[in-house]
Structure 1
Amino acid sequence: MQYESEATQFLTQLKTERPHLENEQKKGRSLLWDKQLDRKLQEDFKQAKVAQKPYVYQNK
């Protein structure tokens, strides 16, 4: 028998009890993250980027 942590056991049990849970997670993720990138907007962000100083806490 292979060792499984309590967290792994909990997640395995949860997915067994609620098989639809993973599909709901994927739907939620797609709402926030799985979007087409606007190349023009990305280029504008890149041009507007301000270089950070190497020592951000130094006053000079």
Structure 2
Amino acid sequence: MANNFESEITCFLKDLKKAHPDMEKKQIDGRARLWDREIDFELQEGYQNARVPQKAYVYQTN
């Protein structure tokens, strides 16, 4: 018979999830707030068109 091994980190994560059952939902909400957003392509195009090209040497006064 094989004994199933669980690392200390796996045990820690399981205990953490038991102690904080709402943590996974908070992670999903945080991801949605920061990453899962619709991109406004017209606005992005406006930002790209408004860029001013940078000179080769930015500290030159001429």
What TM-score results when the alignment is normalised by the length of structure 2?
0.57
Q: CA deviation at 1:37?
A: 2.2
How far, CA to CA, are the matches of 2:15 and 2:41 in structure 1? 43
Residue 8 (structure 2) aligned to one of 2, 6, 10: 6
After the TM superposition, which residues 20-35 of structure 1 pair with which residues of structure 2 at under 5 Å, given as runs? 20-35=22-37
Unaligned runs of 5+ in 1: 46-60
Q: CA deviation at 1:38?
A: 2.8
How far, CA to CA, are the matches of 2:16 and 2:41 in structure 1? 40
The number of residues matched between the two structures is 45
Consecutive aligned runs of 4 or more in structure 1 exceeding 4 Å deviation: none
CA RMSD in angstroms comes to 2.0
Unaligned runs of 5+ in 2: 49-62
